[in-house]
Structure 1
Amino acid sequence: MEPHPRLTLAGLLDESLMEGARLVAGGAAAETPVTWALPFTEVMSRYDDLTSTVVYARPESLAAKPSSLGSLLARGAPAVIVDGPLPAALSVDAIPPGLVVVEMGFPIGFGPLNRLLAERALTQEVHVMRYATHVHQSLAGLLHRGAGMPLLLREVSALSHSPAVAFDARCVPVADHAVPADSADAVLAALRDALLARGQVHDGHGEASRLDLDVSGVTWICTASPILLGKYFEGWVVILRSGDRPGEHDLAQHAVVAEQATAIIGSEMLRERSVEEAEERARGDFVQALVHGGFASDYEMRTRAGYHDIDLDATFAVFITRDDTSAPDSTESPRGSSRLLRLARFAAGLLPHRDVRSYVTVLGDVLVVVRTVRSQSPSDIESEVADYARAMADELTARGHDARTPVAYGAVAVGASQIRDSYREARVALGIASRMQLRGAVAYRDLRSYGVLEQISETDRSRQLVTDVLGPIRLGTELHAILLAYLEQGGNVNAAARVLNMHRNTMLSKLDRISRTIGLDIREPENQFTVWLAARLELLDTLGGAVDREVNFS
């Protein structure tokens, strides 16, 4: 079953009602489609568009207004049917070029002509509806049986007898069928550029439109129909034809197939997307369990790893960064969280290699990338991990991530059982780097003094030292920030005052207050070291507690 061809002017003249009709002028336009007829007197009293509408005129009416033919042509009328001989006052030379004029051998009246066109138009619509139903049922049956995108495109191609392509909302090819292999890349690239230039469809209508492409000297006639599901634009279904220019019948068939395929192809896109998102969430949950060590047994870990096709015996590196806009208590949490998910997916695709796999997840405001390492020697492993960390920092910054937030990583994990320790080191390095306002890629091993102190930071003696030295000067207070700035500037009052944008005398006053509060003269080098040690131990204890709370909460 195929769509019935639309009635053209030439087809109208072949009807038995038009027997004896003679083409007076405009024979080149005989293939123009016609769908309706209006009487000359009514047309001249209004200013409607007359595209595909023939004008019925009695000879005496036309003789009274011979100059009106130019107006009819300007309004799009394809033809004027004179119900009788052409008026003597109207010469053929006076007929505007491009307007078809037909004179009848004997009068037929407007009613029979109008009825003929209405019957043909209804017949055309019925044929189109039947063919559209046939196409829809064929594709819907495949969708119901779970055929998948490749088989759906193959059916679209078979119904249209032409190559077919499906694009997503970003105009990236999702699937194609029967596109010649030797020219597929060039054709799809040219088609993608043409669709991008056309832009998304916002009017809520899914009518097919035509695109003409010239690729390497070959002309491609493309029928593109937008995929609109509700008010959302999801992509395009495109049917292509190369070589000889297709006829109106072929283009009509392509339009019907493309328009009917959009709902089915769009539904399959949503199904595949939901499956991918579900798999991504499940994989993200597994990665969270890896970095937190949240498996009840090694058997459970290996069973779930097999489902996600993750080699637990590989060598891994853990990279993390933070986005404050997606923190749980942030008013911009939904926006920040979705943005961080997009950044995570982007980070997974950085520095691709066939032997490397990247697994990502988001923990609150922290982006985590667990990446396999392909190198073997220690120096090569160190270089490979550092290169990815730098690329991650640079590329995420280029995509809008805060450049002040570093990308931290710990020691490589030999086997999945060590991922938890590597993640903990990366979390500690991220906290220290943020406190020290470091940028770019930061390795835990580069913070050697902190690594030694971390081993004692959570002991009772360490916490007692912090309490005895810092006293009431708690993390997050003004005096605490002033104290850290002073220590970080090596006890230089002027430098610390500049960092804090504070007057020197005010800085001296604040330091005196700190000295009285802790009972130590902060200006003495020995006391500065003691306070520095207490501040570092406090930071490491705070970071360790934050990681433990995260593990317990998850």
Structure 2
Amino acid sequence: MEPHPRLTLAGLLDEPLMEGARVVAGTAATDTPVTWALPFTEVMSRYDDLTATVVYSRPESLAAKPSSLGSLLARGAPAVIVDGPLPSTMTADSFPTGLVVVEMGFPIGFGPLNRLLAERALTQEVHVMRYATHVHQSLAGMLHRGAGMPLLLREVSALSHSPAVALDSHCQPVADHAIPADCAEAVLAAVRTTLLERGDAPDNHHTAVVADLTADGVRWTCTASPILLGKYFEGWVAILRRGERPGEHDLAQHAVVAEQATAIIGSEMLRQRSVEEAEERARGDFVQALVHGGFASDLEMRTRAGYHDIDLDATFAVFITRDDSRAPDSDENPRGSSRLLRLARFAASLLPHRDVRSYVTVLGDVLVVVRTVRSTAPSEVDIEVADYAQAMAEELTARGHDVRSPVAYGAVAVGASQIRDSYREARVALGIASRMHLQGAVAYRDLRSYGVLEQIADTDRSRQLVADVLGPIRLGTELHATLLAYLEQGGNVNAAARVLNMHRNTMLSKLDRISRTIGLDIREPENQFTVWLAVRLELLDNLGVSVAREVNFV
């Protein structure tokens, strides 16, 4: 079953009703479509497009307004049908070049002509609907039986007798069938370029576009229909024909097949995406359990690792960064929550190597990449890990990631059991780097003094020192920010004032207030060291509490 051919001007002249008609001007092109008829007196009072609309006129009406025929041609009318012999004053030279004028041998009236065209148009629409139903049922039946994307594309190709391809919303091929292997890459690239040049995603569910393209010097015709599910544009279904552009009948058939395939192909694309997202969530949960040490037993860890094809005996490095600029979810932006996960996937694709695997997860506003290390020599391991951290920092910044957030990493983990310690070091390094306003790649081992202090931060004596020295100056207060800026500038009043954008006298006043509050003259070098120590112990203790809270929450 195929679409019934549309009525053309040549086909109209072959109808019994038109017996005795002759073309007195122009050429009745065989492929000029004809859909409707309107009387001459009506079209002259309006300015509508007349494409595929023949104009019916009585001889006397035409003779009264011969100068108006040029406007009919400009508005796209394929022909004028004169209901009877033309007046003797009108000859072929009286009509504009390009306008087809048909003279009836005897009058037939507007009603019979209009009824003929309406019946033929209705018949054609019924045939199209029947064929569209046949195509839809064929594809829907395959989808119901569990056919995947390749089988669905094979059926589309069989129905259209031509190669077919499905593309995602970025015009990347998802699956194709019957495209010759020797030119498949060039053809798909040409299809992608052609559809991308259309600009924004289409907003019409039932409009197929026809475009001519060239691949490796060979001409192809592409009939593509957009996949629109709800208000979201999901991609294209395209049917290709090699060589000269097909006739109107074949293009109509391709359009029907492509349009009917969009809903079925789109449903399969959504199903595949949901499966992939479910697998990705499960893999992300496994990675979270790795970085938090959340397995009940080694057997559980190895069983789940086998499902996700992760080698637990490999050497790993853990990289993390924070995105403070992440847009919240909203009804207007329902996909906004996936932004950080997309960044994580992008980070995992950096510096690819066949022997390297990357696993990602998102913990709140923290992006985590667990990456295997292929090098074995210690010096080579350090270089490989540092290079990736630097590349991750640079590329995420280039993609709009918060430039203030560094990429931190800890010591490499030999085996999955050490990933937890590596992640903890990376979290501590990220917190310290953020407090110190560091950017780029930051290694835990480069913060040597903090590494020593971390071992005593989680003790009662350390907390007592922080309470005795800092007293009521709490994190987040104005005095705390002033104290931190002063210490970071090495006790330089002028430099600290510039950092805080305040007058020098105001800075001196605040330092005096801090000294009175803590009972120590902050401008004395010995006291500065004591306060410096308390501030860092407080930072490390808060980071330890934050990591522990994260583990318990997850």
Instruction: State TM-score, norm by structure 2.
Output: 0.94
Cα deviation for residue 334 of structure 1 reads 8.2
Structure 1 residues 62 and 300, CA gap change in structure 2 (3 angstroms): same
Q: 2:13 matched to which residue of 1?
A: 13
Q: 1:267 matched to which residue of 2?
A: 267
Aligned partner of 1:513: which letter? R
Cα deviation for residue 133 of structure 1 reads 0.6
Give unpaired runs (5+ residues) of structure 1: none
Q: 2:182 matched to which residue of 1?
A: 182
Q: Indicate yes or no: 2:69 matched with 1:66.
A: no
Structure 1 residues 186 and 50, CA gap change in structure 2 (3 angstroms): same
Taking the aligned partners of 2:265 and 2:327, their CA distance within structure 1 comes to: 38
Q: Point out the more displaced range, 230-239 or 472-481.
A: 472-481
8 Å contact 1:337–1:365 — kept in the other structure? Answer: no
Cα deviation for residue 439 of structure 1 reads 0.7
Q: 2:172 matched to which residue of 1?
A: 172
Structure 1 residues 152 and 329, CA gap change in structure 2 (3 angstroms): closer
Residue correspondence of structure 1 range 331-350 to structure 2 within 5 A: 337-350=337-350
Q: 2:103 matched to which residue of 1?
A: 103
Q: 2:390 matched to which residue of 1?
A: 390
Q: 1:94 matched to which residue of 2?
A: 94
Aligned partner of 2:248: which letter? E
Percent identity reads: 87
Cα deviation for residue 493 of structure 1 reads 2.8
Structure 1 residues 462 and 327, CA gap change in structure 2 (3 angstroms): farther
SS at match of 1:376: coil
SS at match of 1:29: coil
Q: Indicate yes or no: 2:504 matched with 1:489.
A: no
8 Å contact 1:29–1:78 — kept in the other structure? Answer: no
8 Å contact 2:229–2:266 — kept in the other structure? Answer: yes
List per-residue Cα deviations over 1:377-402 (Å, max 9, x = no partner).
11111111111100111011111112
Q: 1:527 matched to which residue of 2?
A: 527
8 Å contact 2:54–2:81 — kept in the other structure? Answer: yes
- Aligned residue pairs total 553
Q: 2:357 matched to which residue of 1?
A: 357
Q: Indicate yes or no: 2:433 matched with 1:433.
A: yes
SS at match of 2:290: helix
8 Å contact 1:52–1:76 — kept in the other structure? Answer: yes
List per-residue Cα deviations over 1:466-519 (Å, max 9, x = no partner).
223323322222332222222222233333333233333333333333333333
Taking the aligned partners of 2:110 and 2:333, their CA distance within structure 1 comes to: 69
Residue correspondence of structure 1 range 454-473 to structure 2 within 5 A: 454-473=454-473
Cα deviation for residue 326 of structure 1 reads 4.4
Cα deviation for residue 303 of structure 1 reads 1.7
Q: 1:135 matched to which residue of 2?
A: 135
Taking the aligned partners of 2:300 and 2:222, their CA distance within structure 1 comes to: 52
Taking the aligned partners of 1:506 and 1:177, their CA distance within structure 2 comes to: 74
8 Å contact 1:291–1:423 — kept in the other structure? Answer: yes
8 Å contact 2:350–2:391 — kept in the other structure? Answer: yes
Taking the aligned partners of 1:493 and 1:50, their CA distance within structure 2 comes to: 82
Q: Indicate yes or no: 2:208 matched with 1:208.
A: yes
Structure 1 residues 12 and 469, CA gap change in structure 2 (3 angstroms): same
Q: CA RMSD in A?
A: 2.3
Q: Point out the more displaced range, 511-520 or 369-378.
A: 511-520
Cα deviation for residue 32 of structure 1 reads 0.7
Q: 1:451 matched to which residue of 2?
A: 451
8 Å contact 2:328–2:337 — kept in the other structure? Answer: no
Cα deviation for residue 420 of structure 1 reads 0.7
Residue correspondence of structure 1 range 21-36 to structure 2 within 5 A: 21-27=21-27, 29-36=29-36
Structure 1 residues 169 and 18, CA gap change in structure 2 (3 angstroms): same
SS at match of 1:234: strand
SS at match of 1:23: strand
Aligned partner of 1:256: which letter? V
Structure 1 residues 334 and 75, CA gap change in structure 2 (3 angstroms): closer
Q: 1:305 matched to which residue of 2?
A: 305
Taking the aligned partners of 1:333 and 1:216, their CA distance within structure 2 comes to: 41
8 Å contact 2:320–2:430 — kept in the other structure? Answer: yes
List per-residue Cα deviations over 1:102-141 (Å, max 9, x = no partner).
2233333333322222221111111111111111111111
SS at match of 2:197: helix
Q: 2:539 matched to which residue of 1?
A: 539
List per-residue Cα deviations over 1:178-226 (Å, max 9, x = no partner).
2222222222222222212212345444311211113333222111111
Cα deviation for residue 465 of structure 1 reads 2.1
Q: Indicate yes or no: 2:270 matched with 1:293.
A: no
8 Å contact 2:157–2:177 — kept in the other structure? Answer: yes
Aligned partner of 1:361: which letter? T
Q: Point out the more displaced range, 311-320 or 299-308.
A: 299-308
Structure 1 residues 102 and 478, CA gap change in structure 2 (3 angstroms): closer
8 Å contact 1:157–1:177 — kept in the other structure? Answer: yes
Taking the aligned partners of 1:428 and 1:333, their CA distance within structure 2 comes to: 33
8 Å contact 1:326–1:333 — kept in the other structure? Answer: no
Give unpaired runs (5+ residues) of structure 2: none
Aligned partner of 1:182: which letter? D
Taking the aligned partners of 2:329 and 2:269, their CA distance within structure 1 comes to: 35
Taking the aligned partners of 1:403 and 1:40, their CA distance within structure 2 comes to: 69
Taking the aligned partners of 1:405 and 1:210, their CA distance within structure 2 comes to: 48
Cα deviation for residue 304 of structure 1 reads 1.6
Instruction: State TM-score, norm by structure 1.
Output: 0.94
Q: Point out the more displaced range, 252-261 or 454-463.
A: 454-463
SS at match of 1:499: helix
Q: 1:112 matched to which residue of 2?
A: 112
